[in-house]
Structure 1
Amino acid sequence: MFDKDFKTFQRFPKVPSSYYCFFHSEKETICVGTQLIVIGREIDGIVVFRYELENHKWFKGPSMITPRVMYGSASHGKTAFFAGGIQMDDNGNPIVVRTVEKYNADAKSWTMINGMHKARKFNSGCFLRGKFYVLGGRDENDKHLTCGESYDETTNSWELIPDMLKDMTFITPSQSPPLIAVVDDNLYMLETSLNKLRVYDINTNIWKKLGVVPVSTNTTFGWGTAFKSMGDRLLVVGSSHSGHRKGIVYSCRPSPDVKEQH
């Protein structure tokens, strides 16, 4: 855990899993309230670990109601949403779902909410202007989805947003989920195929190009790059364009109104 200027850090205790497969499988993380949620896979299936900051300790569970991976997620205060993903059926076959669950950090519990319009995997999620948004991903036929969806918690309903990613370039079927982050109620995306930063106009459903980022996302199809927000800054963690330096943290204070920078 780093401070906001990345000058000091605190090392967490090790995750208390004793399984080899957990440490060598893909894991997905999200912060909610003062907890860090880590979801991975053990021998018996998908497992949830949570780190509680006030106790400086890891705990196992509680498990998701419908355990799955490769979902879109986002947190807002002490609540986090998990949408879509890949779930195993009773015969052990992977299926793409439209299922959505809400996690409450205070109660340490999961709640099912209404499902999305589209089943999707490898999608991304964010909170934007009071709503939970889900972007992109691939459907049950492994086809890239250009639509998005927004969830209104007051009505427990989803609104489909056609063509939200219509002008994005998909360079490979195995491309990473969309790299998105929100700063000051503006949604930004790191377009992996072009190494470019974009900002979303919620009124026109158009992504404006802002300029090139200093990491090479196109060579790895977006995998291995982290794109996050912290306060009023965007953070990019990845390899430099030269490829000689890895794990570099870049930050900027974005402005949605600037012209494209080269």
Structure 2
Amino acid sequence: MEMISTIWEDGKKVNSFLKMDRREGVNDGFPKLGPSDSLLPGLIDDVALNCLAWVSRSDYASLSCINKRYSKLINSGYLYGLRKEMGVVEHLVYLVCDPRGWVAFDPKISRWMALPKIPCDECFNHADKESLAVGCELLVFGRELMEFAIWKYSLVCRGWVKCQEMNQPRCLFGSSSLGSIAIVAGGSDKYGNVLKSAELYDSASCTWELLPNMHTPRRLCSSFFMDGKFYVIGGMSSTTVSLTCGEEYNLSTKCWRRIEGMYPYVNVGAQAPPLVAVVDNQLYAVEHLTNMVKKYDKEKNTWEVLGRLPVRADSSNGWGLAFKACGDKLLVVGGQRGPEGEAIVLNSWCPKTSVANGTIDWQVLGMKEHVGVFVYNCAVMGC
């Protein structure tokens, strides 16, 4: 199993799995290959693997029960690497909205799944947390009794492990992922100092790398990738100074560029960080005071009003609501109260469709009842 995982992480070709399989067939529990002994009868295994990469991820548990070869293939994570090479993407929406812990929603099959409980201390359970999906991992950042901590859920291993800590542990930072990497920027250290440092996380090696500092320290900010570059907008540089500027980090030149007036909505008091999402390299945001969705014009550095949210964001200063990208759709996850009680509703909209008379045609993607109306954390994984 270790060799297969290493092959995937190092980006070897598809037939690397086949060569190892033929070489170690008896010792590792795999049967040796023969005319009637292939993964899919009638097909050579390199073709069979390409076919299996298109199988829905929700069927992996069933596939792993077929025989030992399938079980080892699924548990190695090899198919996830192959799917990435082939551009096969399915999404999972992870969220926590009640004390029972994290759940995942699969939009393709409209199914909810409960994740195992994080084996953390009680302090981590009750402290504020940030979350981030990168590669096939869900990272949850929080505070344990003495220090900051990061717990990592692996979609491949289906369990939680402690993640290596950042070089400069922090909270209230901006973060975003691009494929197998993620960047966190700004935030506060454990003494309350506002940071201008940034770090890159590589999920293949599970390591953190310090990046050059931003021009301006900021906390309660938001981040995203757009056109292959990393951005940080909004936030506060102190308890009284709100920031309307943004910063752009170029991964090629390793330089930051300050963008004046990129997010001109001042953070006052206890407002949430900017609610932003990028779909097809276009930036969208929620102005929670008016419950309106806006689109950013990169050339003019201005914002255009599109239409209204399907839920209210103004009642709680933008907290308790998630605004995310999910493939080619914008996703709004929020609570509602109805005759049958409280529920969390996932609403989606594809920006490729038109906006009629200032009205966005939101569609209900899923609903989870009896879990409250406040979304504490939400992350969308595509793999």
TM-score (norm 2): 0.64
Alignment match, 2:115: 12
Cα 1:257/1:153, change in 2 over 3 Å: farther
Alignment match, 2:126: 24
Q: Partners in 2 of 1:192 and 1:256 — Cα distance?
A: 23
Matched position secondary structure for 1:37: strand
Q: In structure 2, which of residues 165, 182, 195 is the aligned counterpart of residue 63 of structure 1? A: 165
Alignment match, 1:117: 215
Alignment match, 2:297: 201
Instruction: Map Cα deviations across residues 53-102 of structure 1 (whole Å, 9 max, x no partner).
Output: 111111102011100000000000000000000002xxxx3100101000
Alignment match, 1:219: 315
Q: In structure 2, which of residues 265, 286, 294 is the aligned counterpart of residue 190 of structure 1? A: 286
Alignment match, 2:181: 79
Instruction: Check the 8 A contact 1:214/1:241 in 2, yes or no.
Output: no
Alignment match, 1:175: 271
| Equivalent pairs, count | 255
Cα 1:260/1:68, change in 2 over 3 Å: farther
1:129 aligns with 2:227: yes
More helix by share: 2
Matched position secondary structure for 1:234: strand
Alignment match, 1:233: 329
1:50 aligns with 2:146: no
Alignment match, 2:262: 164
1:141-156 equivalent positions in 2, closer than 5 A: 141-156=239-254
Q: Partners in 2 of 1:245 and 1:51 — Cα distance?
A: 28
Matched position secondary structure for 1:87: coil
Work out the percentage of aligned pairs sharing the same amino acid: 37
Cα 1:123/1:241, change in 2 over 3 Å: farther
Shift of 1:9: 2.6
Higher-RCO chain (CA-CA 8 Å, sequence separation at least 6)? 2
Matched position secondary structure for 1:247: strand
Q: Partners in 2 of 1:25 and 1:246 — Cα distance?
A: 23
Alignment match, 2:345: 248
Q: Partners in 1 of 2:273 and 2:357 — Cα distance?
A: 24
Alignment match, 1:97: 195
Aligned alpha-carbon RMSD (Å): 1.9
Shift of 1:257: 7.1
Q: Partners in 1 of 2:313 and 2:277 — Cα distance?
A: 16
Extract structure 1 runs of 4+ deviating beyond 6 A: 241-244
Matched position secondary structure for 1:194: coil
Cα 1:256/1:139, change in 2 over 3 Å: farther
Q: Partners in 2 of 1:40 and 1:109 — Cα distance?
A: 18
Q: Which has the larger radius of gyration?
A: 2
TM-score (norm 1): 0.92
Cα 1:30/1:120, change in 2 over 3 Å: same
Matched position secondary structure for 2:303: strand
